[in-house]
Structure 1
Amino acid sequence: METIRVIIIDDQPLYREGIRTALEHREDCVIVGEATDARRASELLHTSHPDVALINAGLDSSDPLEIAQQARQISPQTAIILLAPSEDEERLFQSIKVGVAAYYTRHITPDQLVEAIQKVSQGQYLINNDVFIKPQSITRDLKPFKELATEELEVEETKEQFSPLSSREIEILDYIARGNSNKEIAKSLKISDQTVKNHITSILKKLSVNDRTAAVVYALRHSWIKMHQEQ
């Protein structure tokens, strides 16, 4: 079993201790460093090149989103899990923008945290699906997603001049991003529920993602879709 290298970026000793306790007895996880601010986090990323970085979204000493963006630049292979004090839609959207792989509140259990670490280390995105079904999200302008989070992603965007998805698949993803169910999409497009399911299966396969939310996040970050403000 390959060991997952983890760093903790948190300025609260008690919380760091709690995470350390949750992970130290796991054979598949090892904590390779801890940081309390952006400077130390940068040093760890340069020297340790961890598989996963756990960042406290409530840092007092530094901006956690700046640290996340910096991490993506220094160590692109590092998956980032942001641990927030509470649900915050604005922070969630900004987290997606800078390339965070998972977003959880501190109510997450140790077992859930370990599972998240395992999944993001394998390249999965675990963004809260609730943001795509909240009515207020439908009216949100997502222009910031057109700006890719790191130079690496900008290069990738330049190279990739087209989407692997068909126009119909992109249209369906756009409906999903607006919070529509399969039945609602089928009704709007005047196609069957099964046809919608077939398209979604094709989307997940083409993007190599596991669920609808991950597909939407992928499409948003590559500027294939966006949500428009209500007129």
Structure 2
Amino acid sequence: MSSNASIRLLIVDDHPLFRQGVRWALAGEEDVTIVGEAASGEMAMEWLESAGSTYEPNVMLVDLNLPGMNGLELTRQVRRQYPAIGVVMLSMHESDEQAFNALRAGAAAYRSKDVKPQALMEILWRVARGEYVINDVVLEEPRVASRVLSQFRMLPEATPTNPDATDVPIFTPLSDREIEVLERIASGGSNKEIADSLKISTQTVKNHISSILRKLSLNDRTQAVLFALRRGWIETPSEIRQQSSEEQEE
């Protein structure tokens, strides 16, 4: 697979044989550099602190079940201190609980360790480009998709104190009503149609849309729908009609 970017990978796993296996699997891949290894979360953070900008990875491959600081806590710390690094989390077995926890921690991808080398490369390239691929697992297992969606709907609202801040959480939860509005936008509803179906005013719909865009730091409703779809927050028909005329409404 080709890409305009390059992968600078840090492998974090307590099994030397697994780390060597990753090196072997990625050997010869174009524009992929394994910049380092760490056997624990603590060692990974020390490595990042001493690496400097020259060797800083843009992708980390992290074992969920690390000794001491586990993969989830490591991911949280990396996302706080090194937001440009995408974390690919691996576990022995895929499960809805682990997928949800990885997503909550800020991981950009979640897979089991039996992932094939070609599939792993696809994931690494996508994460290096700033994409999120947890939902590929979610969409393969409807139970997981349903649970992730319901769990996010139960989360409290988290509006950034500074809408222009660069450290806005990747997975910002929306309220139940905002999710409903997004679902209807994705299905092609106009502001008036959404208002009628939810029995609220058109102005209230506009207020919800403004709130959604502010929380997600996005510019228009189409971007918000795509953002929510990629993260499994909403379910829509296979075809989504463009709402260009609605985007121009004040």
TM-score in same-fold range (> 0.5): yes
Instruction: Note the C-alpha offset of 1:61.
Output: 3.9
> Match of 1:70?
77
Contact 1:204 1:212 in 2 (8 A): no
Q: Which structure has the bigger radius of gyration?
A: 2
Q: Give the AA of the match of 2:16.
A: P
* 2:80 aligned counterpart, secondary structure: helix
Instruction: Note the C-alpha offset of 1:205.
Output: 4.8
Output the CA distance in 2 between the equivalents of 1:64 and 1:73: 14
Q: Give the AA of the match of 1:4.
A: I
User: Which residue of the other structure, out of 26, 30, 37, is the alignment partner of 1:27?
Assistant: 30
Cα 1:139/1:54, change in 2 over 3 Å: closer
Q: Deviations over 1:18-59 (max 9, x none)?
A: 111112311211000100112211022232321100001122
* 2:131 aligned counterpart, secondary structure: coil
Output the CA distance in 2 between the equivalents of 1:173 and 1:133: 22
Normalised to the residue count of structure 2, the TM-score between the two structures is 0.61
Contact 2:138 2:232 in 1 (8 A): no
**1:168-207 map, 5 Å:** 170-172=182-184, 205-207=222-224
Extract unaligned runs of 5+ from structure 2: 188-196, 198-219, 235-250
Output the CA distance in 2 between the equivalents of 1:10 and 1:39: 11
Q: Give the AA of the match of 1:79.
A: G
* 2:94 aligned counterpart, secondary structure: coil
Contact 1:6 1:30 in 2 (8 A): yes
Q: Give the AA of the match of 1:170.
A: L
Q: Give the AA of the match of 1:22.
A: A
Aligned residues: 184
Instruction: Note the C-alpha offset of 1:2.
Output: 3.9
Output the CA distance in 2 between the equivalents of 1:49 and 1:29: 13
User: Which residue of the other structure, out of 117, 125, 142, is the alignment partner of 1:110?
Assistant: 117
- How much identity, in percent, do the aligned residues show? 26
- Which of 1 and 2 has higher RCO (CA within 8 Å, sep 6+)? 1
Instruction: Note the C-alpha offset of 1:67.
Output: 0.5
**1:1-231 map, 5 Å:** 2-46=5-49, 47=51, 48-127=55-134, 128-130=137-139, 133-134=142-143, 137=147, 140-142=150-152, 143-144=154-155, 146=157, 155-156=167-168, 170-172=182-184, 205-207=222-224, 212-214=229-231, 216=233
Cα 1:209/1:167, change in 2 over 3 Å: closer
**Range with bigger deviation, 52-61 or 113-122:** 52-61
Q: Give the AA of the match of 2:11.
A: I
Contact 1:204 1:210 in 2 (8 A): no
Q: Give the AA of the match of 1:11.
A: D
Instruction: Note the C-alpha offset of 1:140.
Output: 4.8
Contact 1:54 1:82 in 2 (8 A): yes
* 2:119 aligned counterpart, secondary structure: helix
Cα 1:4/1:208, change in 2 over 3 Å: farther
RMSD of the alignment, in Å? Answer: 3.9
Contact 2:182 2:225 in 1 (8 A): no
Instruction: Note the C-alpha offset of 1:96.
Output: 0.8
Extract unaligned runs of 5+ from structure 1: 176-188, 190-202, 218-231
